[in-house]
Structure 1
Amino acid sequence: MTIAIITLNRPEVRNALNPEMIQRVIREAKAADKDPSVRAIVLRGEGDFFCAGADLQWMKSSLHASKAQNKKDATLISNLMATLYNLKKPLIAVVQGAAIGGGVGLVAVADIVIASEDCVFGLSEVKLGIIPSIIAPYVIQKIGTSQSRRYFITGERLRAAQAAGLDLVHSVVPRDQLQAELDKILSILMTGGPKAIIAAKQMVKELIPKITPAMVSKTINAIANIRVTPEGQEGMSAFLEKRKPSWML
C-alpha cells in the first residue's frame, strides 16, 4: 500500500504551470492511477505557494500567438484538468499560500482539499481581459452556478475560510498543521475498501451532469477566441507590463 505524491515543483515561480510541468503531472497521475499498490494520490506545491496559474514566460510567448497556437496551449491545460478529474483513485489537494487561475482549477478537480488558513484563491482572468474557460466546468460543478457567476465576473480574491464556505475547500488549518491534517485524512481513507472507494467516487460522477467532450471543446475554443481579441491582447499586455489596462478608470 502506497500513497502517490505529485508535486508542483517550480517554487521559484510560485509553481506556475508551463508545458513541461503539465506533461509531467499528467504522466505521474496516470501512472499512479494504474499502479495497483497506490491507494490515494496527493497533489501539492513545493515551497510557500500551491500554484500561481500560468507561467509568466509562457504567457509572454503566447501574447501574439495565433488562434491555432492558443488553442493548442489551451488543450494542454484542458488535458491536465481532465486527467486529474478522471482519476479513479481519490485525489487530495494540499493547498498553501495561493491558488490562482489554473491553480483554482487544480483545486476544483480534487476530491478532498486541505488548505492553509492564510491561503488566497483567485479567479482573476477577467482582470486580464480573458475568461476562466478551461477550468470553468470543474469550478462550476464544485461551487455551483450562482457563486461561479459572481466570482467569474468580479475576479475577487477569496480567503480560505470563504473558499470553504463555497465548498471549494473541505478543511482549513494553520499552515504548520497541513501535514497532520493530510495524515488524518489518509488514515481515514485507509479504513475503506479500496474498490468500494473507487466505486463510490465513480457513482457520484454518474449521478451528476457530466462534463462532456463537447463542453470541453467549447471551453478550449472560448479561451482561444478571446485571447486574440483587442481586449484580450490589451489585458495580457497590461499585466506583463505591470500597468493598468485601458478599460480601468
Structure 2
Amino acid sequence: MFETLKLETDARGVVTLTLNRPEKHNAMSAQMLAELTEAAACLGTDAKVRAVVLAGAGKSFCAGGDLAWMQAQREMDAETRSAEARKLATMLGALNALPKPLIGAVQGNAFGGGVGLACVCDVAIAVDVAKFGFTETRLGIIPATIGPYVLARMGEGRARRVFMSARLFDAAEAVQLGVIARVVPDEALAEAVEAEVAPYLACAPGAVAAAKQLARDLGPRIDDVVVDRTIAALAARWETEEAAEGIGAFFEKRKPGWVVP
C-alpha cells in the first residue's frame, strides 16, 4: 500500500507506523508526506486501532527534508514552492489531529522536520545517542511549517534556545526542552514505548480521542490562519539571496558566504 512507510498492527490494535527510507535517513520526500497524510487519515478512522507508534527504520529517525525534493524546489516559482510547503504542513496537521494516542520511538537522529514529527507525538521517547537540531537557518531558510508544533511543545522561551541557531543538541537537552519525554538506552526503547502504550489499552477509545481534542482546543491555536502564515514565511525566505546562497553552497559542498572563519 505504501512505498515509504511500513505499517504493522498487533493483536491489541497497536499500529507501528515506520518511516521506511533508511538509505536516505528517512528524509521526507513529497511521496512520504503524501503517504503519512493518507496513513493518518486511515488510522484515525479505524475503530480497531487503539494506539499508534511512530518509528524510523535504520540509523536515523528522520533527517528532515529530502535533498532531491529540496533541490527541485530551487527551480520552482513561489506559488509552487508554497504548494510544496503545504504538503508538509498538511501532514503535520494530520498527525497532530490524529484521534489516537501517538507515541514517538526516536531510535536515531532527528533534524528539521524530524524534530517536528517528534513534536506532534503525544509523547516521544528517544535513545540516549540521538542528536537533534533545527538546521534550516544554515541554508538561509527557516523552520516555518514545523514552527507551530515546536512552539506548542517547547514554549517560546525554550524554543528560542535552539530554533534559530541550527545548533545540534543531545537527547538529554531534548528532554529539558520538552521535545522528548525521556531518554533510554537503545536496548530499552521498545520497553519504554510499551510502557507508554499499555495504559491506553485500559481506557475508553472515544474518551481518549475526546480528551486529546480538548487538550488541542485548550492549547496554542494552530488553525488555517497560523498554518498559512508559516507557509507564506517559508515561501518568502526561499525568495531571498540568503536562501539561494545557502542552498547553493550546500549542494556545491562549500561554505556559504556568511560563515565566519
Smaller-chain TM-score bracket? over 0.9
**Structure 2 residue aligned with 1:237, among 248, 252, 257?**
248
Q: Does the aligned pair in 2 maintain the 1:120–1:160 contact within 8 Å? A: yes
Aligned equivalent of 2:63, options 49, 52, 61: 52
Shift of 1:32: 0.8
Partner SS, residue 116 of structure 2: helix
Q: What's the TM-score once normalised by structure 1's chain length?
A: 0.97
The 2-side partners of 1:206 and 1:54 are apart by 29
1:36 is aligned to 2:52: no
Deviation (angstroms), 1:209: 2.6
Contact 1:66-1:228 at 8 Å conserved across structures: no
Matches within 5 A, 1:98-247: 98-247=109-258
Structure 1 residue ranges without an equivalent (≥5): none
Q: What pairs up with 1:61-72 in 2 under 5 angstroms? A: 61-72=72-83
1:177, distance to aligned residue in structure 2 (A): 1.3
User: 2:32 maps to which residue?
Assistant: 21
Q: CA offset at residue 106 of structure 1?
A: 0.4
Cα shift at 1:100:
0.4
Contact kept in structure 2, 1:99 and 1:119, CA below 8 Å: yes
Instruction: Give the aligned length.
Output: 249
Name the counterpart of 2:6.
Answer: none
Q: Deviations for 1:63-116, whole angstroms, at most 9, x for unmatched residues? A: 232111210110101111100011111111111221100001101111010101
Aligned residues: CA RMSD: 1.1
Q: Please give the secondary structure, in 2, of the residue aligned with 1:78.
A: helix
Q: Does 1:3 align with 2:36?
A: no
Whole-Å Cα distance in 2 between the matches of residues 5 and 180 of structure 1?
Answer: 14
1:133-157 deviation digits (Å, cap 9, x = unpaired): 0000000010000122221221111
Paired-residue identity, %: 39
| 1:86 lines up with 2:72 in the alignment | no
Could you tell me how far apart the structure 2 residues matched to 1:203 and 1:59 are? 36
Is this contact kept in 1: 2:140–2:247, CA < 8 A?
A: yes
Report runs of 4+ in structure 1 exceeding 4 Å deviation.
Answer: none
SS in 2 for 1:50: strand
Shift of 1:211: 0.6
Query: Quick one: distance in 2 between partners of 1:241 and 1:97?
Result: 27
**TM-score under structure 2 normalisation?**
0.92
Unmatched segments (≥5 aa) in structure 2? 1-11
Q: Is the 8 A contact 1:6 1:29 kept in 2?
A: no
